[in-house]
Amino acid sequence: MNPTAERTFRMKFTKLAMMLNFMILLVAIGILALFGLIPFYSIQIAAVCFVLAGIIAYLFTKHYKRDKEWLMAQD
């Protein structure tokens, strides 16, 4: 793999790792809100967190498939 492609791969991997970490964080906050550890608007906060986590999961899957195809096309 040439240096330019390797640099691009690192950026794509970093993007996917950040998306996955943010999705896990949102799910954790949503679970904490459901258990009542957030005193105000706990159900609404949980719903927003779960919806955002679902959107990020969809985007993560789409980006993962696209980046995997790019990686398989490299030498």
- pLDDT, tens digit, 9 for 90 and up, residues 11-47: 999 999 999 999 999 999 999 999 988 888 999 999 9
Tokens 């899957």 found at: 61
For 39-71, the pLDDT digits (tens) are 889 999 999 999 999 999 999 999 999 999 999
pLDDT at residue 36, as a whole number: 86
Of residues 63 and 1, more confidence is placed in: 63
Which position has the higher pLDDT, 3 or 63?
Answer: 63
**pTM of the entire structure?**
0.87
Provide the 10 A C-beta neighbour count for residue 12: 17
